[in-house]
Structure 1
Amino acid sequence: MLTTEKTYKDSCCDNSRADEAPRELKPTPPRNEFFSTWGPSIFSFVMLVLGLVGEYFFHISQFSDLPGLAWYAVAYLPVGLPVLVKGWKSILKGDVFTEFFLMGIATLGAFAIGEYPEAVAVMLFYTIGESLQHKAVSRARKNIQALLDMRPDLAHVHRKGNVIPVSPEAVAVGETIEVKAGERVPLDGIMVTEHGSFNPAAITGESRPITRRKEGEVLAGMINLDSLVLLKVIRPFQESSLSKIFKAIQEAASRKAKPEQFIRKFARIYTPIVTFMAIGLALLPYFWVDDYQFREWLYRALVFLVISCPCALVISIPLGYFGGIGAASRNGILFKGSNYLDLITKVNTVVMDKTGTLTKGVFEVQKVHASDTPHADWLALAASLESKSSHPIAKAITSFAKKTNKPVFLPQKLQEVSGKGLTGLVEGHKVVVGNAVLMRDNGIHTESETDHESSTIIHVAVDEKYCGRIIIADEIKQDTQQAIGDLRKTGIKSIFLFSGDRDAVTQALVKELKLDKGYGDLLPEQKVARLEALKRAKDRTVAFVGDGINDGPVLALADVGIAMGGMGSDLAIETADVVIQTDQPSKIAVAMRIGKATKAIVWQNISMAFGVKLLVLVLGAGGIAGMWEAVFADVGVALLAILNAVRINKHF
Structure 2
Amino acid sequence: MKSEDNKLRFFAPAIVSFVMLMAGLGFDHVFPQEWFQGWIRVIWYAIAYLPVGLPVLKAAWGSILKGGVFSEFFLMGIATIGAFAIGEYPEGVAVMLFYSIGEIFQGMAVRRAKTNIKTLLDQRPDVVTVVEGNLTKDIQASAAKIGDVLQLKPGEKLGLDGELLSEKSSFNTSALTGESKPATKEKGSQVLAGMVNLNKVALVKVTAAFQDSKLSRILELVQNATAQKAPTELFIRKFAKIYTPIVVYLAIGICFIPFLFADNYDFSDWLYRALIFLVVSCPCGLVISIPLGYFGGIGAAGKNGILFKGSNFLDSLAAIDEVVMDKTGTLTEGVFKVQEVHVKPKYEDGKLLHFVNALESKSTHPIATAIKAYVGELDPEVILEQVEEIPGQGLRATAEGKELLVGNFKLMDKYAVSHDIDASSIVYTTVAFAYDGEFVGYLTIADKVKADAQKAIAQLKSMNVGVTMLSGDKSSVVKAVAEKLGIANFFGDLLPEDKVEKFKQIKAVKGKVAFIGDGVNDAPVVAISDVGIAMGGLGSDATIETADVVIQDDNPDKIPVAILIGKKTKQIVWQNIGFAFGIKVLVLILGALGLATMWSAVFADVGVALLAILNAIRIQKMRFG
1:552 equivalent in structure 2? 523
CA deviations over 1:488-530 (Å, ceiling 9, x no partner): 11111x3211111111111111222221221111111100000
1:533 equivalent in structure 2? 505
CA deviations over 1:519-566 (Å, ceiling 9, x no partner): 1111111000000111112x5211111116321111121111111025
Q: Is the 8 A contact 2:126 2:142 kept in 1?
A: no
Q: 2:51 aligns with which of 61, 75, 78?
A: 78
1:378 equivalent in structure 2? 352
CA distance in 2 between counterparts of 1:159 and 1:300 reads 77
Q: Is the 8 A contact 2:218 2:544 kept in 1?
A: no
Q: CA 1:489–1:318 in structure 2 vs 1: closer, same or farther (change >3 Å)?
A: same
Partner SS for 1:111:
helix
Q: Is the 8 A contact 1:384 1:408 kept in 2?
A: no
Partner SS for 2:532:
strand
Which consecutive residues of structure 1, in runs of 5 or more, have no partner in the other structure? 1-27
Query: 1:387-466 residue pairs with structure 2 within 5 A?
Result: 387-402=361-376, 409=382, 411-449=384-422, 453-466=426-439
2:550 equivalent in structure 1? 579
CA distance in 2 between counterparts of 1:313 and 1:153 reads 39
The reply on whether 1:332 has 2:297 as its aligned counterpart is: no
The reply on whether 1:104 has 2:77 as its aligned counterpart is: yes
1:272 equivalent in structure 2? 245
Partner amino acid for 1:467?
V
CA deviations over 1:198-251 (Å, ceiling 9, x no partner): 111222112332221200110122122233322223334444220221122122
1:33 equivalent in structure 2? 6
CA distance in 2 between counterparts of 1:548 and 1:391 reads 14
Partner amino acid for 2:373?
S
**Structure 1, 55-64 or 307-316: larger mean CA deviation:** 55-64
Q: Is the 8 A contact 2:343 2:440 kept in 1?
A: yes
Q: Is the 8 A contact 2:338 2:371 kept in 1?
A: yes
1:468 equivalent in structure 2? 441
2:576 equivalent in structure 1? 605
Q: Is the 8 A contact 2:537 2:544 kept in 1?
A: no
CA distance in 2 between counterparts of 1:113 and 1:382 reads 92
Partner SS for 1:647:
helix
Q: CA 1:610–1:65 in structure 2 vs 1: closer, same or farther (change >3 Å)?
A: same
TM-score (structure 2 length as normaliser): 0.94
Q: CA 1:412–1:153 in structure 2 vs 1: closer, same or farther (change >3 Å)?
A: farther
The reply on whether 1:151 has 2:161 as its aligned counterpart is: no
Q: Is the 8 A contact 1:192 1:230 kept in 2?
A: yes
1:241 equivalent in structure 2? 214
Q: Is the 8 A contact 2:536 2:553 kept in 1?
A: yes
Query: 1:159-308 residue pairs with structure 2 within 5 A?
Result: 168=141, 171-308=144-281
Partner SS for 1:430:
strand
Q: CA 1:648–1:174 in structure 2 vs 1: closer, same or farther (change >3 Å)?
A: same
CA deviations over 1:66-109 (Å, ceiling 9, x no partner): 11001111211222222222222333333322222211211111
Q: 1:342 aligns with which of 297, 301, 315?
A: 315
CA distance in 1 between counterparts of 2:210 and 2:392 reads 32
Partner amino acid for 1:396?
A
Q: CA 1:148–1:563 in structure 2 vs 1: closer, same or farther (change >3 Å)?
A: closer
**Structure 1, 145-154 or 351-360: larger mean CA deviation:** 145-154
Q: 1:132 aligns with which of 77, 100, 105?
A: 105
CA distance in 2 between counterparts of 1:408 and 1:610 reads 77
**Structure 1, 310-319 or 44-53: larger mean CA deviation:** 44-53
CA distance in 1 between counterparts of 2:597 and 2:381 reads 86
CA distance in 2 between counterparts of 1:73 and 1:275 reads 24
Partner SS for 2:450:
coil
Partner amino acid for 1:380?
H
Q: Is the 8 A contact 2:394 2:408 kept in 1?
A: yes
1:562 equivalent in structure 2? 533
Partner SS for 1:460:
strand
CA distance in 2 between counterparts of 1:395 and 1:335 reads 31
CA distance in 2 between counterparts of 1:41 and 1:242 reads 40
Q: CA 1:347–1:110 in structure 2 vs 1: closer, same or farther (change >3 Å)?
A: same
- How far off is 1:129 after superposition? 2.4
Q: CA 1:414–1:63 in structure 2 vs 1: closer, same or farther (change >3 Å)?
A: farther
The reply on whether 1:642 has 2:613 as its aligned counterpart is: yes
CA distance in 2 between counterparts of 1:356 and 1:177 reads 31
**Structure 1, 120-129 or 35-44: larger mean CA deviation:** 35-44
1:620 equivalent in structure 2? 591
**Structure 1, 344-353 or 519-528: larger mean CA deviation:** 344-353
Q: 2:92 aligns with which of 119, 124, 130?
A: 119
Q: CA 1:422–1:204 in structure 2 vs 1: closer, same or farther (change >3 Å)?
A: same
Partner SS for 2:227:
coil
CA distance in 2 between counterparts of 1:248 and 1:449 reads 49
1:309 equivalent in structure 2? 282
Q: Is the 8 A contact 1:306 1:634 kept in 2?
A: yes
Q: Is the 8 A contact 2:151 2:202 kept in 1?
A: yes
Q: Is the 8 A contact 2:152 2:201 kept in 1?
A: yes
- How far off is 1:454 after superposition? 2.3
CA distance in 2 between counterparts of 1:271 and 1:146 reads 37
2:295 equivalent in structure 1? 322
1:15 equivalent in structure 2? none
Partner amino acid for 1:378?
L
Partner SS for 1:327:
helix
The reply on whether 1:518 has 2:490 as its aligned counterpart is: yes
CA distance in 2 between counterparts of 1:288 and 1:98 reads 31
CA distance in 1 between counterparts of 2:540 and 2:384 reads 23
Q: CA 1:250–1:567 in structure 2 vs 1: closer, same or farther (change >3 Å)?
A: closer
Partner SS for 1:30:
helix
Q: Is the 8 A contact 1:548 1:568 kept in 2?
A: no
Partner SS for 1:471:
strand
Partner amino acid for 2:125?
P
Q: Is the 8 A contact 2:326 2:517 kept in 1?
A: yes
TM-score (structure 1 length as normaliser): 0.90
* Identity %, equivalent residues: 52
Partner SS for 2:521:
helix
Q: 1:480 aligns with which of 430, 440, 453?
A: 453
Q: How many residues align?
A: 622
CA deviations over 1:246-278 (Å, ceiling 9, x no partner): 122122111111111100111112112212222
1:9 equivalent in structure 2? none
CA distance in 2 between counterparts of 1:535 and 1:173 reads 45
Q: Is the 8 A contact 1:547 1:568 kept in 2?
A: no
CA distance in 1 between counterparts of 2:122 and 2:171 reads 19
- How far off is 1:327 after superposition? 0.4
The reply on whether 1:505 has 2:438 as its aligned counterpart is: no
Partner amino acid for 1:523?
L
The reply on whether 1:594 has 2:548 as its aligned counterpart is: no
Partner amino acid for 1:554?
V
Q: Is the 8 A contact 1:375 1:462 kept in 2?
A: no
